[in-house]
Amino acid sequence: MSAPLRYAMVGGGRGAFIGSVHRQAMALDGQMRLVSAALSSQPDKALASGRDLGLPEDRIHASWQALLADELKRPAHERIHFVAIVTPNDLHHPVAKAFTEAGFHVVCDKPLVHTSAQADDLIKAAERARTVFGVTYNYTGYPMVRQAREMVRAGAIGHIHKVIVEYRQGWLAPQLQSGDTGAWRADPARSGPGGTLSDVGTHAEHLMATVTGLTIESLCADVNTFVPGRRLDDDVSVLLRFTNGARGVLMASQVETGCENDIRLRVFGSQGSLDWRQEDPNHLVHSPIDGPRRILTRGSPGLSAAAQNATRIPSGHPEAFLEAFANVYLGVAADIRARLEGRQANPVHADYPTLAEGARGIHFVEKVIESAASAGKWTAWS
């Protein structure tokens, strides 16, 4: 391995859960090093947060604009290779566009932006700049999710008939106060047009699409807000029709009291089925039509190259959330390194959610909202 890639972080300062997760994930394999940051939209908090992390004073910035201006002035050997954006959703588009147009690689938390127009704008900017752009749908970084994807591709369960994906949480069942962590997610101006739909529904859509490779033809959605006074949805149910004739069900909720982070994907095909749960992530249940059910374990012999590449420690030792996040970043790093060296990246190593996948997630949000507001039964995908 060559020297660590240098990165900057926008957002993720004191009190921010997800910023710390991103930093820990990037530190896990020693391939990335935080060198500069603008960690909050509040200048005092941004400066204090940078000092908490031991950054040099001249690399701690009160705004993302100051961070970008400083990086552009620095010599190439000091300048960052990429920026990680972990702000509330309303800042994703302006920050990502500015850094992309300046020629920096970008990793952005999900959901990508607020609208498909903004997503298309970022796609065009990245195409002009020829930069790497990853989106942190971290659940597809799990080794057994990648194993499931490779089994589907290899035809292990035959022609897909039915897909059921669920993302169940209960933390929004009570009314949030304005100062609560994550309260911005219930603010349409900051979160965007979807609440639970954008926050965890896009994770469910990405997990389903990544493993199955299916394309949605049409959908029928029921979007609800159960907590009085809440301005965004907190519960979503969607029926799906796919272009190959398969059918699907997607459920995302943050008001299912007692649920913590219960993500489950089941894929049923003509020759068998697959079942994976995030709260038991090291196991994948494969039920072939002509044999007994078997449990595949992370790190065990005979798994795909994609699953093996995403595995760090032997089977039997739990490997989970941070490692899955780290796998997404390792995929981005492999792509950046290949471009720096003027070569094509190995797709097994450069395995990460792309800008196009982030844009598809925003299209999904818009189509679900359109369907829920429609008097018709089905809403066409295109």
CATH number of the domain at 293, please: 3.30.360.10
Q: 325 with 138: CB under 8 angstroms?
A: yes
- In this structure, the answer to whether residues 146 and 115 fall within a common structural domain is no
Does some domain include residue 352? no
Does some domain include residue 214? yes
Q: 97 with 123: CB under 8 angstroms?
A: no
What is the reported pLDDT for 180? 67
Question: In this structure, what token pair is assigned to residue 80?
Answer: 């960052």
What is the reported pLDDT for 359? 98
Q: pTM for the full model?
A: 0.96
> Torsion angle of alpha carbons 321, 326, 328, 334, nearest 10°?
-160
Q: Which of 80, 83, 92 is nearest to 118 (CA)?
A: 92
- In this structure, the answer to whether residues 153 and 116 fall within a common structural domain is no
Residue with tokens 């400066």: 47
Q: 361 with 205: CB under 8 angstroms?
A: yes
- In this structure, the answer to whether residues 157 and 119 fall within a common structural domain is no
Give me the number of domains the chain comprises.
Answer: 2
Beta-strand runs (E) in the chain? 5-10, 32-38, 82-85, 105-108, 133-135, 160-168, 216-224, 235-242, 247-253, 262-269, 272-277, 283-288, 294-297, 379-380
Q: Which of 41, 30, 28, 36 is nearest to 8 (CA)?
A: 36
Average pLDDT per 10 consecutive residues for the chain, totaling 382 residues = 91 93 97 98 96 97 98 97 97 98 98 98 98 98 98 98 98 80 83 96 98 98 95 97 98 97 98 98 98 97 96 94 97 97 96 98 98 93 91
For residue 275, the enclosing domain spans: 142-314+361-373
What is the reported pLDDT for 34? 98
What is the reported pLDDT for 121? 98
Amino acid identity of residue 216, one-letter, is I
Residue 130 sits in a domain whose CATH number is 3.40.50.720
Q: Which of 136, 165, 186 is the last residue of a domain?
A: 136
